[in-house]
Structure formats: structure tokens, C-alpha cells
Structure 1
Amino acid sequence: MSEPENHLHLPATALVPATPAAPLRKRRRPALACEQCRRRKIKCDRTYPCGQCTQLKTSACSYSSPAPVSSHVDRGSIQKPKQAVQVEPRADSTLGRWAKENGISIPSHTRVIESASTSNYAPSPSTSSPRGPTSPEKSRTSVSSPAFDEIHELSQTANNKQLLNRLIDKLSDPKDSPHSTVRREEFQFSLEQKDQVRGTVSKTRFFGQSHWMYSFGAFDQIACMSIDPSSNTPGLHDTFHESDVFRMLGECKAISRAAKATPHNLYLLNPHFRESVPSRDVCDKLVACYLRTSESIFRILHIPSFHREYNQYWLNPAGTGSPFIIKLLLVMSIGAVYYQEPDSAHWRGQALQWLFAAQSWISTPFEKKRLHISGLQIHCLTLVSRLDNAVAGDLIWNSAGSMVRMAFQMGYHRDPSFLPNMSPLHAELRRRLWATIMEINIQAALDSGMPALISTDDYDTEPPANLDDDDIDEPVTSMPKSKPSHVFTQTSLQIRLLSSIKLRLLIVSHSNNIRLEPSYEEVLRINTELSKCLKENNAFISKVLQSSPHPPKIFQMDRNNFDIAIRRYLLTLHRPFSARATRDPRFYFSRKMCLDLATMFLTYPSTNSSEPSPPEGHQDDYTRMTILRGGFCKGLIINACIVIFSEIIAQLEEETTFTDQSRMAREPLKNLLRGAVDLLAKRVEFAENNVKGHLFISVVLAQIEALEVGANQEVNVIEAGRKSVALCLELLKRRIPQRVSAGDYDRHVEDGTSPDGIGVTGGVGEIPDPRMDFTMDDWNMDFNLPDSWLVSGWEDNQPWGLQI
């Protein structure tokens, strides 16, 4: 069979123009080293990028094209040819090396580039080439390409599909070559994953690899639960269906739906939000809670300016503009999470009304009137309030994208030094707000398993100055000098967070990339740089605490949140490789890193000795946050528990004999799981309507204990599941009054009525029952039971779990 006509398969000898033979000067030997090594006159290993450029952290590593053939040219007749670029795999590249070892011939990829019209030019009869004659209208230049570029080029060409499949088969078979290296294994992993989802699909949503649900590949290790290899979906054994667990799960779902039966639109378009501001005594306490807990990481307000507006409001409430009242309501809605007076449940219920009033204000169609600094502050406060009050916290990424685009349209991505007529205070507020917007956006992307959709090339806004709020105010006409980096100010933590934004954006990009994953060398490089950043931050905080121990300038909650905001990206970075460590010891470092990180996330101290103790019957702020807050708190707890469970199971599988010593060595890890079960029970008692976390951790803990003593795993798992659901059902019944049946829930939500007959118009000004739960996560996505991931997520044949 004759070879099809395709310029990809033209022989190399047909790619260089030639004319009748003519005397030539001796050609120089083509340069094989990269241009950077040639310039520095050092030895080059001719890889891409080469070892020298990698070691010296050179921004670019490039190879020059072969020099053009020198020849005699008739000055009166110059040929300006078409050009064709031929991309050939280098013999020393990853693809070229393995193709050569396995006897695979890879064709060149040639592209013809038309030159400008040159009808006045004529070919020179004296032009010649030692490679033989070709058309004088074309000239070919050979350039080299990195291995992954070659794979991308080949995969895009339909004629080379068979070749690519042959190459994948060769690389996937370890017997084909004795040279087994980490680089080859990584290359193999990327090829194997080309057809995988690289995420988890559930109902109408896609969760990327950085989302905590992507870790549920551990389901196939749990007794009574397994992964169907044909559909890649979890399923329950028949023994689980025979218990009364499902009946109690149905009751839990009915109670949760009763809590949601008050329709959401009851709080939207509330024209009476001015009247919902409480007394000044309550406002003072709620504002103080916000300033104590939230303004250290997310710098949104200029505190002296806010206090001035706050005092002016109480002098003339009716004359205060709507933007400040909305800001005040949002500040109090965040502070209500940490407010612990006897009427705290009432104000947490009110916080939901305030939040929906702000959301309605943002969503009005007159967006031009919102394009000011207060409008952007309200946008930021709304997202933080949604996270703290667990209102659709898992959908923050959608709203964060709108906020980022609003900031771009207002020019916040450009440094104020490029903008005219900017006061020092206004310029500094813009820099702080941009840093806050970037932080909210990247955290939302990580939590949602989505790309951040922004890079450091998209903005040039400088970091905020290291100044306290009192150092800069309206009367200031010239920008004060920034304090040294070792001096602690109210913006120090934000500045240090922003210094790691480039690395964290890279991790989010790698984790949620739908095509390729990073090489393990790249993972280790990012780990080294981010770990160095964490060490510097901890050293800085330790010096600050030593210089001012009483009262501390940094409270333990701020220190924990600051550390979590950076450290959890390492867990996302290492988790895919940690799953392979049980089969390949080269990835053991990732396994150890994930275990250390999970342990740290579950053992952060809630207070330190230099902080004042909370009043009797009150909780410290960090404990309060872990119990009530939505967003990353829930995902972090579940994620850490899955890592610990997988580690214990791996240790049990690796042991040849079970001894008391090994069981005692695992006791600290099991205690972490027990502590997580208690924490999740507290969340259900105070705020959480979702019992799946408590059920899952209770089940895996029971299985571990059964494995250690040789008991029947299925019996232990079913009994632990029954006890977990019974406890959660009792906690839900105490907190949530069941005012409607489960069947009436959908009707109430659909027609906009509440269970007591209050419609949209009649109930706008109503205050909900303070006993009801207003900290429900996943409002727009019903992850409650039993038609969520526990049942229907499996029965609907949804792709699930960690793809390894």
C-alpha cells in the first residue's frame, strides 16, 4: 500500500533548497548546546530545559536553529522563498529517547509559512545545497521542541493516532526497557490519564481535584461499600440495606428539609433593611467581634474611617447612605458567628436576613451605581459572610468571579501609581482590596476544585504598604514610608499571604488542569519554595509574639487561619502522588507530607497562654469557627480524616503480623479520628444539617478497630453507622422543629410560601423563628441524605473518586 500524501512524512532530504553544484565554504559544526550555556561557556547536557539552566534558575532555555547554508548569491537576483518549519523530535528529548529505544520512528511535523509577495524576485542560479535539489520557492528550517509539545502536536494530528497508541503501549510496559526512571513513570502517568475526567461529577456539578470530594476514592477500602469497576461508582452491600440505617437517614433528611422550608426569597428584596439594625449596644458587640476575628487576613475596611462613619450613623441614622448601612449589616452578620451572649441564636438568624439584603443590593440591575470603593467592599464582605454563615459556601467561586471582573473594570488590577489624582489613603485601600480579592478568589477556586482564571501577568498592582490604619488617613497628602518587613502592623499578615500568591496559583492550576499533571520534580520544587515561605512566616510570628506577649499582637485564631491559608495548598499538591506511594516508594515523601499536614490540621491549638481566657461557658474564637463556619472548615476536616484513614489502612496492609506495639503506635492517629467525630457531632448540634461527615468518619473508625482485633468488619461498620445516624437524628430533633412534612418541602419552595402560610409579600419584614438553623451549607445543592452521594450519587452512575 502506498503511503498517503502528507507533508508530515516528507523525507528530511527533501526539505532544503538546492541548485546546481557550486563551490562552498566549509560549514561550521552545528551548535548542540543551548544558547544560554554557549553564552556562559559551560557544558550543556542538551535536555530541555538543560540542567545548567535549571540549576541557575534561568528564565529561559532555548536552542538555536541550524545555521543557514552559506552560498554565493547573485546580488541582482534575490529569491525570497516561502518558509516551512519542520518540527522534529530531538533525539535527546524524553519522547525521542524512548522512541529510539523502542524502535519507533516518529515523523516530522512540517508547516508551510507563506512569505510576502515577491514577484520581482527571481531564483539565483548559483544557490546550492549539499542535501540535494528541491523547489527554489521553499526553504526549510528544522527546530526542536520539548517532549510535551511533541506529544501535543502528535495528538492533534489524526494521521498519527496509531503511532501515539503504539508509543503509549511501549511506555506502559516496564519490560520493554530496563531503564526505569522517575521521569519515565511521570510521563507514563500523564499519558494514561488523557481520557480520564480528572475530577468528580455529582448531579449537575463538576468537582476538580482540589475539591475534598475528590478524595472519596477511599470508598473501595470500606467494608459494606465498594467501587464497581465497570462503572467506577460506589455501591452498598445488601447487608447495609437490611439494617435500619436508611430509615433513620430518611428522618434526618425530612428534618433538614423542614429547616429549609422557609423559602429563601422571603429575605430577598427587603426594602426595610434600615429598620433591621439592632440597638447600639448589640451593634457595638457584633462589630467588635468582626474586627477581632476577620480583619487580619481579609483587609477590607479602613478601621478609623469605618468608626467615623459608624459614629455619624448613630447621630443621624436617616441621613446615612445605603452603602454604609449594608456594610454595617454585613460586618455584624460576620460578627454574629463569634457572638456568644444568651441571645446569640437570635442574631445568627438575623444575620441571614442581613446577608440576603446585601445580596439583593448587589444584584440590582443598576450596576453603574455600584462601581465605587464601597460597592467593592460590600462584594468582599458578602462573600466572607457567606463563608462564615455557611450560606452556599461551596458556590463562592461563582460569585468571586463576578467580584474579580468588577475589580478589573474599576481598574484595581493596575497599580494606583499609574492612575491620576489618587490620594494616599485611596491608593492604599485599592491595594489592600486587590490583595483581598485575590485571596478570596484563589481560596474559592481551591475549595471548588476550579481554576482561578487569573494569573500574575494579569495585574501589576503592588502589595500594600506595611502600615497601621492610624498611619494613613484622609488628611494625609503624601504617602508615609512603609515600615520594615520585620515590624508587625495591621497589614503584615496580608502582605505575607500575598507574597506566596504566585506559588499557590500554580498549585491550583496544576491540581485542576484537565489535561496534564505536573512532573514530580515540579511538585518537589513547589513544595520546597512554599515550605520555605511557611518557615519564614512562623519565624516572623514567633518574633512578634516574643516582643509583645501581653496582650499578643497576633491571636491564636489569626495565626491558625494564616497558616491554614497557605499550608493546605501543600495537601492539594501532594495528594495525587500520595495515593501512588503504596505501589511506588518513590512517592513516599508525598505520603509522609500528606499525613503530617492532616495531623496538623486536626491539632491546631485553639488558644495560647498569653491570651485572656474566654468567659465561663464561652468558647474561644477558633473553636467557635470550627463548629459554626462553613466553607473550607468542613472540607478540611473531611479531607484530613480521609488521609489519616488511608494511612492507617496502608499500614495494616503492610504489616505481616499484628502486635500490641504496632496497634499502640497507631493510637494517636485513631485519636485524631475520634476527635474529628466529636467535632462533627458538635457541628450537627449547633449548625450543620448534613450528617454525611459524621457517618463516614464513624464507619471508617469502626472498620480500623475491627481490623486490628480481627473482628467481623461488616458487623462493626453497620453498627457504627447505625449509632452515628441515631445520634445525628437526635441532635437534629433538638435543634430543628419539624414544621412541615418532607413531601411539602418542594411545594413551599416552588410557590414561595413558608409553612405557616406567609407568602413573599406578606413575610418580607418577618423575623424567622430564632430556634431555626440559619447556617446551612450547600443551599443550592442538596447533599443531604439519602439521595445525595450516599445513595443516588452511586445509583446514577456518576464518575467518582480519586483516579489513580
Structure 2
Amino acid sequence: MRFGAFKDQYVGGDHWAAILDSIADLKDHFDREEHFRLVDSPDKYSNTSREASDVVEFGTAGPGRALLLYGCQPATSREEIVFALPPKEVVDRYVSRYFHQLDLVASSSVHGPTFLREYEGFWANPDELSITWIGLLFSMMCLALIATDLSESSPDFEREQRNRQIILYREKTVQCLMMGNYTQGGKHVLETFLNYVYIEFRVHTDAEGDLWYLLGIEVNLAKRMGYHRDPKHFPNIGPLEGEMRRRVWATVLVGDSLLSGQMGMPRMITNEQFDTEEPRNLNDSDLEGEISELPPGRPETEDTTSLGLIARRRILVALGAVSGLTSSLAPYTYEQMMRIDTILNEAQRNIPPPLQMKPMSSSVTDSPQTIMARLFLSHMFYKGQIMLHRRFLFAESASSKDNPEYSRTTCLNAALESMRIQQILDEETRPGGQLQTMHWRVGSIMNHHFLTATMILCAMLYRKQTLGRDEDIMQALRGARSIFLRNSAQSKEAKKAERAVSLILARAGGPRFEMDLQLDPTGARVGLWDTVNGAEWSAGVLSDLGLEFNQGGSLPLRSVVYDAC
């Protein structure tokens, strides 16, 4: 728990900042730094003074806060909102991009053939559909723009134009929700809200508390509208609507697990609170026409509209079981932990074959969307292993039945595999890579899990409990530090992580590591002392490592390699 001048913040023990926060001496050191900075310039660090780096490029022209929570100006009329739509041929391109580039988002919120009929009807008669349907359309356009692949060489005016459009369409989405009295529920409301939350998630580089509050609204909307109960309980819900409700609820579950975990908070939905079944492996075309009953699912060897969502739901329901155990205030035994370990491993084995992890060299004929899905699912599995086994990473055996060696090995392997995925994404999302068009999908949630894995490796290296894999850990941390350093200008979390990794590597690597730290990305020489002491640690900082400081708060000379230049 952190108490500050501008906010109080709690994060659970699985959060990367909490792992760091257990390094008591470093925590004290950076707490003193933060205190002196706040005394020196309090306005600079207040929540009302938000840095441009809080928001990624396409959000910089807008406020750093979630628009729905901070007083979006209401539209004066429905006509004003409709007037903001570009010509149909432009909207056509956005809608096409939405369905092809945002396949997982699209499949979870709309049934393609039904939407197409509504879409054509809207252009024939704009008054025919509800204001929340128009909000859904604006949210699709906004997400399509976010997914636009602008190269680094794109002219500035193109980027500025895209930024303005994203801000405008986000505003119109919120205005439609407000005009449609979204808290009352209704048709298209939850689907539009899901897209809106994803918009806010995409336009922020780091974890934002606003997103968690939006998630709370989303979850309560879904429950209030009965999405947590399977449609089979309600005879007035037809097969198509029922299956789409299952997809939407699966998306709510996924969002809860990811965003709550990112904020270091328990899930809002526990597995005991819902009985909505898993969606079937069906294409949208399987649900066309007047169907009296739901067709059987296709084999899971066949990639369909809903296969990715099914896989995400399976692994994240298992993560929910992990979170339920680790966030419980009641103590739990190693035996209980191993039961959840079995559930997690079973979920990983039940990932459909097309989405099972395989080497990049064996994926050259696969679509970028499929490759990203594999990386994400594997990453979530490793995240679950770290969450589950971290408690026993440095613990002594409490019982002869315990096997902490298994937990240590599992935790280390999961952290190293997470770092390998980070390296793959860093390389393949660059221009010319297999995932270049997917670079926008590497957001704060995936980066949060990379931070957690990084801090696990830092803790093991500092405590000299590396299971004989010192070089593997050092190599992974060097790669992670390089990535965090490149991203530190846009992400305060990356900046924090880079400083922590630099410190741990400097202590462990000796003179060899000094040369690695001499050049920043611009080619300028940089001293490690500047790297370490220039950190801006705000929420939780270092924990499980226990670095020692001199009485004055500085690092002892033996701990730091100075830049002699």
C-alpha cells in the first residue's frame, strides 16, 4: 500500500511494482528521492499535471483521462453526431479494416452478416437505427484508425490527421453512449462500451487507473443485462443472440482478468458468479438466416471467427483460478497451489491446435493475427505460472510434501520464456518483420507482464538463487534493458524497469557490464550513476532484492561501476 500527496494506491503481491517494493533498502532510497522531488516542485508531479508521455502518439492531442469519466461535452442533437460521419466510401474502408485487422475485437462484439444488413439500412435511412448503434459505428472507425499502420517515414500531416480523427471518433462514441442513456443497458450498448474501453486502453502507454474504473462499469452493465447467465435459461433469447451474448461475456471475462491484473487488483468476476457457457467454434456465416437451434461447433483444428476468443477464455478462466487463490486473504497450502497448477496446465493443453505455440521459422505461412494470438496465449500461460509459484520462489519448505524446487524451476522458466516472447515481439514488429502490421497490439497489458517477468529475474539474480542459469538470466535482462531503454521516452513504467535492471546488472556483471551501459540510443555516453539515480519511481519500487545503501541514501562504491569519462 502506497500513500502519497496526490493518491493512495494498493497493488497485490503479484504486481511487478510489489515485487520491486520488497527490496526494502532500494525502496527507502527512491522514496527519499521522490520526497525531495515533490518538495522541490510539487505541481510537476501532481495528477493534474499530466505528462505527454502518458499517452501514446495518437492520443497526445486529447486529454490523458478517460473521456467518459471526466465530463465529455454532450452532443446537442443526433443530427450533430451523424453529421460528423465522413462519406460512405471512407466509412466502408474503416469498417473493412475493423473486421480484418481487429479480428478478435470484431468477432466478440458484432455478428458480421447482421451488422452488414444494419449498415446498409443505415445509409438508406440514417434515422432507422438507435444512437447506440451509431456509437458502435464510431467506435469501429476509431479502432480502425488506431490499427492503421503508419510507417516512421509517414509525413507529419498524416499522423496529425489520424490523431485528430481518433480524438473526434472517440468523442462521438462517448456522446452516443451518453445520449443513449448507457447505464440503462439496451441493444448495442455493451458492445459499444467494450469497444470504447478498448479505445481508451489503446491510447494509453502505461497502466491507467481510469481503465479499471471503466472496467467496473462494463462488468456491472454486463451483469445488469444478464450476460453472466447462460442464454439457455431464457427462452425468449434466440440461438444467434444467445451465441453472441456468450461471445460478449467471454470478452468481459478476458478484460476483467487482464485489466485487474495490470492494476494489481483482484478480479471483479469470480468463476462462481457466472454459468455462461463457452462460445462454440463457429464462423459468423454458420449463424446466418433463420436458425431454430445452434449448430454444433466445428472441429478445433479449424480456425474460425470465434476460435481465438475461445482460446483466450480458456487460458484466462484458468488465470482467474490462479488469481482467486493468490489474492485470497486466507493462507493456502502448497497442495492447494498444485491443484491450481494442474488447472492451468490443463488449460494450456486445451488451447486449440492452430493456436498452440510454434517457432517463428515454422510460422512463415501463417497470418500475423494467428502468430500474435499464439504469442499472447503463451505469454498469459507463463504469467499464470509466475503468479502461482512466485510465493514459493524463495520460501523454505513448510512440509515434506512441498516441492519448492518445482516452483523455482517453473517460475524461472516462465520468466525466461516471457523474455523470449518480448524479444520476438521487439524484433518482428519492426519494419520488415513478420508482425510489422501488428505492432499496435503490443500494449500496456503485455508490457506489464514483461515487467513482472523482468523483476522475477532481477530478484533471482540479486539473491544468487539462479539455479545455475546465471548467464541465461543475464542475457535475458540485457535484452530486456535494451527494449525498456528504447521505450522509456514513451513509457514511465519502462523507464522505471530500465533503471532497476541497470542497477541489478551492474551489481552482478562487474566491469564487463560497464561497456554495455556507455551508449544511450542516440550514441551519447552515459554514466551508470546517472542511469541509477535519475529514476522516477512513484508507486511501488524495489522489493525482493534487499540492496544495501549507505546511511546517506547512496549506493556503496562496490555496488556501482562509475563512468570515468
TM-score tier (shorter) = 0.7 to 0.9
Give deviations 1:14-59, integer Å, cap 9, x for gaps: xxxxxxxxxxxxxxxxxxxxxxxxxxxxxxxxxxxxxxxxxxxxxx
Change (3 A) 1:581 1:304: farther
1:333 equivalent in alignment to 2:138 = no
Q: Which residue type is aligned with residue 111 of structure 2? A: H
Partner of 1:213: 17
Change (3 A) 1:720 1:358: farther
Shift of 1:507: 1.4
Change (3 A) 1:487 1:618: closer
Give deviations 1:710-735, integer Å, cap 9, x for gaps: 99x9xxxx932525898xxxxxxxxx
Distance (whole Å) between structure 1 residues aligned to residue 14 and residue 257 of structure 2: 11
Shift of 1:251: 11
Distance (whole Å) between structure 1 residues aligned to residue 85 and residue 463 of structure 2: 55
Give deviations 1:462-512, integer Å, cap 9, x for gaps: 221221111102433432232234433221232233345553322112222
SS of equivalent residue, structure 1 residue 207: coil
Give deviations 1:603-651, integer Å, cap 9, x for gaps: 228889xxx999769961444433xx22x12311221211121222233
Distance (whole Å) between structure 1 residues aligned to residue 492 and residue 27 of structure 2: 28
- 1:672 aligned to 457, 476, 486, which one? 476
Q: Which residue type is aligned with residue 336 of structure 2? A: E
Partner of 2:270: 455
Give deviations 1:559-604, integer Å, cap 9, x for gaps: 2123334432221111122143699995232222222112222222
Q: Which has the higher contact order (CA 8 A, sep 6+)?
A: 2
- 1:642 aligned to 455, 460, 468, which one? 455
Question: Could you tell me whether the CA contact under 8 Å between 2:19 and 2:544 is conserved in 1?
Answer: yes
Question: Could you tell me whether the CA contact under 8 Å between 1:581 and 1:590 is conserved in 2?
Answer: no
Partner of 1:592: 409
Question: Could you tell me whether the CA contact under 8 Å between 2:95 and 2:140 is conserved in 1?
Answer: yes
Shift of 1:286: 4.3
Deviates more, 1:557-566 or 1:392-401: 392-401
Distance (whole Å) between structure 2 residues aligned to residue 547 and residue 237 of structure 1: 49
1:788 equivalent in alignment to 2:538 = yes
Partner of 2:201: 387
Aligned alpha-carbon RMSD (Å): 4.6
Change (3 A) 1:314 1:445: same
SS of equivalent residue, structure 1 residue 603: helix
Shift of 1:542: 5.1
1:410 equivalent in alignment to 2:238 = no
Deviates more, 1:581-590 or 1:378-387: 581-590
Partner of 2:523: none
Distance (whole Å) between structure 2 residues aligned to residue 676 and residue 276 of structure 1: 43
Question: Could you tell me whether the CA contact under 8 Å between 1:270 and 1:357 is conserved in 2?
Answer: no
SS of equivalent residue, structure 1 residue 209: coil
Q: Which residue type is aligned with residue 195 of structure 2? A: L
Deviates more, 1:358-367 or 1:330-339: 358-367
Distance (whole Å) between structure 1 residues aligned to residue 172 and residue 309 of structure 2: 29
Alignment of 1:741-756 (within 5 A): none
Question: Could you tell me whether the CA contact under 8 Å between 1:333 and 1:348 is conserved in 2?
Answer: no
Change (3 A) 1:689 1:273: farther
Q: Which residue type is aligned with residue 600 of structure 1? A: E
Q: Which residue type is aligned with residue 643 of structure 1? A: I
% identity of equivalent residues: 19
Distance (whole Å) between structure 2 residues aligned to residue 251 and residue 358 of structure 1: 31
Partner of 1:495: 310
Partner of 1:604: 421
Distance (whole Å) between structure 1 residues aligned to residue 418 and residue 124 of structure 2: 46
Distance (whole Å) between structure 1 residues aligned to residue 413 and residue 102 of structure 2: 27
- Structure 2 unmatched runs, 5+: 55-59, 518-525, 547-565
Distance (whole Å) between structure 2 residues aligned to residue 423 and residue 251 of structure 1: 53
Change (3 A) 1:438 1:251: closer
Partner of 2:507: 703
Distance (whole Å) between structure 2 residues aligned to residue 262 and residue 497 of structure 1: 32
Q: Which residue type is aligned with residue 10 of structure 2? A: F
Change (3 A) 1:289 1:523: farther
Distance (whole Å) between structure 2 residues aligned to residue 367 and residue 537 of structure 1: 35
Partner of 1:442: 257
Q: TM-score, normalised by structure 1?
A: 0.54
Alignment of 1:555-594 (within 5 A): 555-580=370-395, 586-594=403-411
Question: Could you tell me whether the CA contact under 8 Å between 2:2 and 2:8 is conserved in 1?
Answer: no
Partner of 2:556: none
- Structure 1 unmatched runs, 5+: 1-198, 656-661, 727-784, 795-799
SS of equivalent residue, structure 2 residue 204: coil
Change (3 A) 1:458 1:236: closer
- 1:468 aligned to 283, 290, 311, which one? 283
Give deviations 1:403-458, integer Å, cap 9, x for gaps: 22222222222222221232221111111111111221222222222222433333
Shift of 1:554: 5.7
Give deviations 1:527-564, integer Å, cap 9, x for gaps: 12312321342745359999998455962112212333
Q: TM-score, normalised by structure 2?
A: 0.74
SS of equivalent residue, structure 1 residue 413: coil
Partner of 1:620: 436
Change (3 A) 1:618 1:252: farther
Change (3 A) 1:409 1:237: closer
Question: Could you tell me whether the CA contact under 8 Å between 2:94 and 2:144 is conserved in 1?
Answer: yes
Partner of 1:633: 446
Distance (whole Å) between structure 2 residues aligned to residue 258 and residue 464 of structure 1: 39
Alignment coverage as a number of residue pairs: 505
Partner of 1:734: none
Shift of 1:519: 0.9
Distance (whole Å) between structure 1 residues aligned to residue 46 and residue 450 of structure 2: 21
SS of equivalent residue, structure 1 residue 373: coil
Distance (whole Å) between structure 2 residues aligned to residue 395 and residue 486 of structure 1: 39
